[in-house]
Structure formats: structure tokens, C-alpha cells
Amino acid sequence: MKQFSAPGNFRYHEKMSLQPFLHLLRILLNKYAKIWAKKLATDEKMSHNPDSKYGENVFCLSSNSTNFDAL
């Protein structure tokens, strides 16, 4: 297994400038997440996306109390 030195890796990434790619990736993942969040809100139920190729964090909180404070 070939090992790379840290300074060489840093120079490579600086030269290749991954920032535009990472920015685009964040935009696409945010758009994907918003589409799924809107579907969950429309369906009024929590579920995992069966067609997802990505990891996801799904959180649900329910209560039958009508007296609560906003977090």
C-alpha cells in the first residue's frame, strides 16, 4: 500500500482547488434534502427515502400535550 506524505497531499489539493466542487456538492445535497423534507411534510409522516443513495438523519418528536415552550 502506497503512503502519501501530508505536505504533498496539501499541495495537491491546493493546486486542484476542491472548493468549487465542494460548494456545488453542498448546493445539490441541500436541494435534495429540501425536496425530501417537503414530501415528509406533505405526507405528515416520518419515513426514510427508499430511493436514497445517501445517508440521512431523520428526527421526529411527538406529544399530546398542548402546553409547551418553543425550543
Q: Which residues of the chain have pLDDT under 70?
A: 1-16, 67-71
Check if the beta carbon of residue 65 is closer than 8 Å to that of residue 43: no
pLDDT score at 27: 92
Taking the C-alpha atoms of residue 36 and residue 54, their distance in angstroms, rounded to an integer, is 12
d(CA 42, CA 36): 10
**What does the longest C-alpha to C-alpha distance in the chain come to?**
61
How many CB atoms are located within 10 Å of the residue 62 CB?
Answer: 6
> Are the CB atoms for 37 and 49 separated by under 8 Å?
no
Over pLDDT 70: what percentage of the chain?
A: 69
The pLDDT value recorded for residue 7 is 58
Per-residue pLDDT, 38: 92
